[in-house]
Structure 1
């Protein structure tokens, strides 16, 4: 197993274009030289000290400084914590302190975020777009990636990334990734997608998240491919960037694909070199729309910053499935209460999952897992690895041929009339509606017991929600089970997202019916959709109160005046 440092050194004799954004173009050689200069500076700023970890934080947009500092950390045997610039105040300070950062690299635009924060004592803050930074870096301009830095040479098990999970509840956990694991992940994607040195990887997802580094930067580094950066994801700039840079590969997370599809179509949508997008949560319907419009294939994958389980798409993967377990993984779908493997999924002729109650379970890796733990969080480690199995926290079901289908997060399970449902399955069906630009499905409490299905819909430009058209669409979906149609439909200007473009379901569940957005509801399963008027809300509030419950979105009854 190799190291990221070895991949950085390999660029030294390569004078082809290696890194670009709107303002900067660097060769692979210049990237290696820039990483070496920063590694030399880093060893001066963070000399080895007992009990002090060699960690630096990157509070940056996707500028060339980000991959340069990744390379520097690899050469210097340091670890990088990607700091999320959308976090604020105490949460932001907590991320920096929790990861024991001794150096924080940022830019002027993010300096106001640090004002007044209780930052660690002795933290050195470097601001990249300043004269002071250029002056500080200048004496190290003759460094090469083959120099011996103060720390021992990096090994495969040298800690390299501290990637915060993108969960929207509680303090995020920092997953550890070693140099060896990242180098191996890059090499695996190079082989799987046949990435070549003449490819150009477009990185538009935020680099503080594991997706951009593990699935985009690492394979480009392993293949010797060119990297093109967009500071922040922009749907309107996507195609111009792809054309300008000659991009052939990109990664996506969450609802980025829906935003791309919502842009106005044009006669030149296929005038580019793009051949592949790799990511998660696009959904089969949107993936098909993307390929039909732009001529580039989207491949849905499964993996996480933790690296505990991976699924690979192989030829013959059915529509809607993610794929099969990656080589070496012993993946199973199990009932988390009984620890027994769930039976295979059974489908009706129209594709309805007939035995969701028993077939949907949590995906676990029963074999050797590459999970390397969370930084200083033994409770999270214990929750993730139980009985020597790695528990992903994700719901799946498996067909009789062993193909795995994603069914959502464990906390996205709904129980309607004593039947278990998975939000992702319903979302994939609702996303087929031609007026839908984005869909989120989530549970709200039933007044008596269990859940009711609520959906948030963001509509395509120039369209409107008409209850009859939506009900007609639902009736035409042969794989929509009888418990799946949403009782409540909230029409939103756009879906709330986390910093990594994943739907912020916690925010949707929190507001539930207490929203100023238009909400439509069905008084009975076969009734037409009606507006949720103030009078209807009042009646529902009384119904919930009779059961000792607040209306979903209201404060607890004990807090009400």
Structure 2
């Protein structure tokens, strides 16, 4: 058989082989194929330590052109914007009559101090570049960024409050890290890894360009392998490879840059661990920033198959920037394909071009750009189908096996288990530590502050008036104040009154007294100081400049702290005043007796004073009691470093001292101090500080709700409100307005170790159950008339049945002083219990409901009437603003009376009262309900019963109603009936 070979059949493969060898040799020698495609022309307009500012096509001087500033991510070269030359970003935008500028951070490997750059350096660099472009062009800029470059665009615009920025355009830039971690990994797991890396690796190991390139390729190995196989398969066809050669070389090596360790540490801490782009409160050079500062239009490009900038994470911007109009454009592309390649050339950049023209008032908004919604109804089905098609095509081209089929299921399961495990892991050490506290254990506010400073000296401790203070700075300030206190003669156990508004110096003064081992007597500004200092045996006072005159008027020596050295002090004549700010701590010699943080659990740490006149109430708080509440709050609220606790409650109130300050310090959370209750400022600071937890007392939140500072549906970062005394109606209003945030209501006895918490929040109004690690509680039968405990046949206290009203008591630890009203032999010989001042009932589920204080029960002819259920029921009426209940003497008997005020714009009818109070048993309903114009509140926002009583008795008329037991309704009180009732 004769086989014939044609010249064509032999030469074709030979030519292909020769072309492959020639092109391969060129790639080996020069790293790629020589191409005629040239970079777009640009000039460097500005050179600074952190960046170079490029101006592309500088010879084009067409006046009035829109201006864009393009920002790359840290690990990608600025050539990103020109990688496809005429079909890339600057090429397409310039052809459309747009003036293009690019921020070039350079490589940290060659820039001076490059490896020491942090996140703030880059944000400030973009900020400076915008200023320069604004000045040169005389126009605002459209700020655009890819991946982390888009994050820089958001952050910079927020930092400068939008000045000089016309719009923002981002490409695959995540905002809500929790909603969408790269590759669907669980946030809890990634957060733990990030904490380890930032604390132990990145401060020692630089992230080089080769590490970045390998890491990026490892995120999508299928695509990387496919690209390399395609390149090898077409190595013989130079014409087919040349159009993609620049992009290939960019991805294979030229486009990748090293990542400075400090910048990556900031990224992991602020945005991965704490999600502060979403919540607010990220920090740029000691200044807290929130995306709520952004008010210009935003266009976010979403890659439907982007596993790095997950769609859910990118769409977080619509919630994080509540004051901006946010739009999106959805593109079927991966992370890099959003800005480079055929999809970007044909879809992304034409849409950007049209967006810029529309934003400048020219043209219409393209149909493919639509207002963004956070939750896209069809995302799941459409995204799954799109990913299946995309994955199938990828697998077919590359010939690889399936890799992520079970990712969604496994990721969701792992996410849930990791987060639950993390919560338990945070709670267990706190509960264990509580259980280990003995009377001699050294524990105090001062010691916990020092502990936090040792763990993370540069972590943020607290925020106040747009400044962030680190643990190291706060700890140093505390030590300096301690030296000042020692220099004026303060010693351990000295009782020092603190009369200060909520401010950093008040926080520092309280912590300094704790560190010294002295006792801080917390006094409310504006209270009757002279009587309070006598009752508490206070030896001297610390005041801020605002309260100086009131403090001096007590006749005690007064130390002035806060306000800086330059403020003018209004010192009354003859006052014994020491300006603490003028004491040089370096010149104070510490005495031999001084040991920092000497306070032991059994020792007195704080004294709280509430009430006025003949109703002063003095409470003594040991270090153990403070620690109990601090760790209990941190456990019940699951506080950790990711939280920022907004301290609305004043520090002189138990909620401020024990819950706000204590819980935040024990949980390692940031503390945001509010100088006063200002609804407008509250709304601003919640966003700017990234507040996740708000503390309150009594009716504080009523002012915020009434001011409509957060309209319904307005996005916010708050997850929890914690405090005590919130009425049921206000509780429901708060949950409705701030959904999905919850209310965590506490009850804590000041003396003794009883702490209850309604952790689930399901039973509005309930005080919940005992917090783990706190005292065991019991409810014992109690006669409120005789004020005696009721006993059983054996002579021990009788335990209450379900829903029976009784006295709440808690086991007394060794640190509790039983001489202050303690009980022994309650259920067994020699047992020790501390009674609270309150009466409760316990429902069949084991939840406790407050009924009254022992001294405010109304003793009517029909038996005891409890005030707390009355005010709770009345507060739950929509029209009711505030209310109080009290006993009114009328002849030889006492009437149960309730007074209420009405919310602006609402009406209240007798039938509303009748219907609401049917929730109570007839014998527990008030005899009279009447309307007053206003109910004054105390400094802690508690409605004042005494003020209502002082205003006079209820008068007959259309705003006063009496309970007609025959008709079971409330009716208008006439003059004749009033005369009989009050006789």
TM-score normalised by structure 1 residue count? 0.80
1:344/1:400 contact within 8 Å kept? no
1:492/1:518 contact within 8 Å kept? no
Find the counterpart in structure 1 of residue 971 from structure 2.
Answer: 529
Q: Find out whether 1:125 has 2:582 as its counterpart.
A: no
**CA displacement 1:85-117 (0-9 Å, x = unmatched):** 1213xxx11322443434422122222324543
Structure 1 residues 475 and 180: CA distance shift in structure 2, 3 A: closer
- Listed as ranges, the matches of 1:338-487 within 5 Å are 338-339=790-791, 340-341=797-798, 343-345=800-802, 359-365=804-810, 367-369=811-813, 372-373=816-817, 381-382=820-821, 385=823, 388-449=832-893, 451-465=894-908, 469-475=909-915, 478-487=918-927
- State the Cα distance separating 1:541 from its structure 2 match: 5.5
Unaligned ranges ≥5, structure 1: 347-358, 546-561
Q: SS state of the match for residue 666, structure 2?
A: helix
Find the counterpart in structure 1 of residue 91 from structure 2.
Answer: none
Equivalent-residue separation in structure 2 for 1:294 and 1:398 (angstroms):
29
Equivalent-residue separation in structure 2 for 1:307 and 1:483 (angstroms):
33
Equivalent-residue separation in structure 2 for 1:316 and 1:128 (angstroms):
39
Equivalent-residue separation in structure 2 for 1:32 and 1:517 (angstroms):
61
**CA displacement 1:406-442 (0-9 Å, x = unmatched):** 1121223234451332111122211121111212222
Structure 1 residues 463 and 47: CA distance shift in structure 2, 3 A: closer
Q: Find out whether 1:240 has 2:687 as its counterpart.
A: no
**CA displacement 1:237-262 (0-9 Å, x = unmatched):** 33233222211112222222333332
1:264 paired residue among 683, 708, 713:
708
Q: Find out whether 1:140 has 2:577 as its counterpart.
A: no
Find the counterpart in structure 2 of residue 302 from structure 1.
Answer: 747
Find the counterpart in structure 1 of residue 486 from structure 2.
Answer: 43
Q: SS state of the match for residue 522, structure 1?
A: strand
Moved more, 169-178 or 38-47: 169-178
Find the counterpart in structure 2 of residue 183 from structure 1.
Answer: 627
Structure 1 residues 269 and 143: CA distance shift in structure 2, 3 A: farther
Equivalent-residue separation in structure 1 for 2:946 and 2:761 (angstroms):
36
**CA displacement 1:258-285 (0-9 Å, x = unmatched):** 3333233654664221111112221333
- State the Cα distance separating 1:485 from its structure 2 match: 4.1
Q: SS state of the match for residue 469, structure 2?
A: strand
- State the Cα distance separating 1:67 from its structure 2 match: 1.1
Equivalent-residue separation in structure 1 for 2:923 and 2:745 (angstroms):
27
Equivalent-residue separation in structure 2 for 1:104 and 1:515 (angstroms):
45
Q: SS state of the match for residue 335, structure 1?
A: strand
Structure 1 residues 131 and 220: CA distance shift in structure 2, 3 A: same
Structure 1 residues 496 and 326: CA distance shift in structure 2, 3 A: same
Q: SS state of the match for residue 475, structure 2?
A: helix
Find the counterpart in structure 2 of residue 559 from structure 1.
Answer: none
- State the Cα distance separating 1:41 from its structure 2 match: 1.1
Q: Find out whether 1:6 has 2:451 as its counterpart.
A: no
Find the counterpart in structure 1 of residue 504 from structure 2.
Answer: 64
- State the Cα distance separating 1:297 from its structure 2 match: 0.7
Find the counterpart in structure 1 of residue 391 from structure 2.
Answer: none
Equivalent-residue separation in structure 1 for 2:802 and 2:918 (angstroms):
17
1:322 paired residue among 760, 767, 773:
767
Q: SS state of the match for residue 747, structure 2?
A: coil
2:538 paired residue among 101, 104, 125:
101
Q: SS state of the match for residue 411, structure 1?
A: coil
Moved more, 105-114 or 159-168: 159-168
Q: Which has the higher helix share?
A: 2
2:961/2:973 contact within 8 Å kept? yes
Q: Find out whether 1:503 has 2:943 as its counterpart.
A: yes
2:608/2:620 contact within 8 Å kept? no
Moved more, 239-248 or 65-74: 239-248
TM-score normalised by structure 2 residue count? 0.48
Moved more, 331-340 or 451-460: 331-340
1:439/1:458 contact within 8 Å kept? yes
- State the Cα distance separating 1:158 from its structure 2 match: 6.5
Which structure would you say has the larger Rg? 2
Find the counterpart in structure 1 of residue 150 from structure 2.
Answer: none
Q: Find out whether 1:20 has 2:454 as its counterpart.
A: no
Structure 1 residues 140 and 188: CA distance shift in structure 2, 3 A: same
1:235/1:259 contact within 8 Å kept? yes
Q: Find out whether 1:311 has 2:311 as its counterpart.
A: no
- State the Cα distance separating 1:543 from its structure 2 match: 6.5
1:342/1:360 contact within 8 Å kept? no
**Number of positions where the alignment pairs a residue of Structure 1 with one of Structure 2:** 507
Equivalent-residue separation in structure 1 for 2:952 and 2:843 (angstroms):
34
Moved more, 277-286 or 476-485: 476-485
Equivalent-residue separation in structure 2 for 1:360 and 1:135 (angstroms):
51
Equivalent-residue separation in structure 2 for 1:23 and 1:517 (angstroms):
52
- Listed as ranges, the matches of 1:194-233 within 5 Å are 194-233=638-677
Equivalent-residue separation in structure 1 for 2:737 and 2:550 (angstroms):
40
- State the Cα distance separating 1:59 from its structure 2 match: 0.5
Structure 1 residues 239 and 493: CA distance shift in structure 2, 3 A: farther
1:489 paired residue among 918, 921, 929:
929
